[in-house]
Amino acid sequence: MFQIVLRNQGGTYTVLQIYILVIAVLGIVFNVFVLMVFCLHKKAYTVADIYLGNLIAKTLSWSPVCPSGLIPTTFSPVATHGDQNSTNVTHCLKETKEWTYTVVPIYVLVISVLGIIFNVFVLMVFCLHKKACTVAEIYLSNLAAADLVLVSCLPFWAVYAARKFNWPFGGSLCKLVNLSINMNVYCSIYFLVLVSIDRYMALVHPLSHERLRRPKFAKLGCLLVWALGLLLSVPTLIYREVKYFSGINTTLCYLNYPNTTVQLLSEGMLTMLSVIIPISIISFCTFKIIQALNNRLMKSSNSQKKEQKATTLVLAVLVAFLICWVPFHLVKIIEWLIRAEVLRGCKLSTVIDICKQFFIYLAFFNSVLNPILYVIVGEKLQEKS
């Protein structure tokens, strides 16, 4: 959970200011994605495509613009305990808003309850139907299992937030809950890597890699992903601990790295392995899948039409993941650059602290959105249920 909100010279941030800031960051991410789709597809542009492409470019040029009152100009030189996930101390005044103790726990609990119900339903459909699962269904069922792990751990964080971030569950659960959440993040993205590669091979190279697209290889790939997720979560298991801070009269569950160098190396490695590499693969496969779906030659074959229908669900899940998780990962990368002193300044730290709060809750929503997409977009899942 991220509970940091800063004060500027004129008082606390208003809802409107925070809303504008979030819209600006989301606007950049989404419009860049759409522009890349327009630019990378091979077919000739229609007149509407040209108009829409320029409209998106115009919108993108406006997105980074924020009102002058959004960023504070001066800060009190008071240092607080900083982010609960870091041992670093930030010399910008940081205070927690009351809505963090009320709205956030309710939101997290709603996400948890809905996520458990929806993902259990999806897993029951996948596991109890008589027909053998396809390769894509094996990957998506494991993705649903990873989402179920995440939402099952969220009630602990809801209680944590409601208690004004005073951890009551002890050191073992502090490690276990965070280990489970981190495993979900790492496993989810690599399950999507596998499913995007599967769809890429099915549509772009349907004959040359058919042997690799077998259920036994898919199950082996899923086992390796779970093992990789556990391996990437080792820093959480080692450095996450519970500690009482007498200065703020609070018991925190936080990452206590031995020094800044270890923290930067650990976070940098995790960023490369769990964000940059997998998202690059997913983005490449997604663009190739879109290009293949736009190829009119594929519409002449019945088998290829079936592949298109299966790919529509996968594409919806991939896009939903990118929308929900990429903003948070971008903010975390910028935060790492600030911690490494590549980027500096309280103004930038203010933007990152505020965005991080909103984007982590957007990312949690992805675990509820996925099973909804399975039912709405997935025709086979509807038939099996």
* Residue 299 falls inside a structural domain: yes
Is the residue at 48 inside a domain? Answer: no
pLDDT band at 213 (very low <50, low <70, confident <90, very high): confident
Chain mean pLDDT for the chain: 76
Q: Look at residues 162, 13, 160 and name the one whose alpha carbon lies nearest to residue 95.
A: 13
Q: Is the pTM of this model over 0.85?
A: no
Whether residue 274 contacts residue 236, with contact meaning beta carbons closer than 8 Å, is answered with: no
pLDDT score at 171: 92
**Residue 192: which CATH number?**
1.20.1070.10
Instruction: Identify whether 68 is part of a domain.
Output: no
Give the chain's domain count: 1
pLDDT band per the 50, 70, 90 thresholds, residue 88: very low
Q: What is the pLDDT of residues 95-109, one digit of tens each?
A: 556 667 788 889 999
Indicate the residue type of 217: F
> How far is residue 202's CA from residue 94's CA, in Å, rounded to a whole number?
50
Report if residue 118 sits inside a domain: yes
| DSSP reduced 3-state for 97 | coil
258 domain-assigned: yes
Would you say residue 33 lies in a domain?
no
Range of the domain at 242: 76-384
Range from 14-23, 71-80, 240-249 that averages highest in pLDDT: 240-249
Asked if residue 74 has pLDDT above 50, the reply is no
Pair 192, 323: CB distance under 8 Å: no
Asked if residues 143 and 188 have their Cβ atoms less than 8 Å apart, the reply is: yes
Asked if the structure places residue 217 within a domain, the reply is: yes
Residues 149-197 have pLDDT tens digits of 999 999 998 999 899 889 999 999 999 999 999 998 899 999 999 999 9
140: Cα within 13 Å, side-chain hemisphere: 33
User: Is residue 90 domain-resident?
Assistant: yes
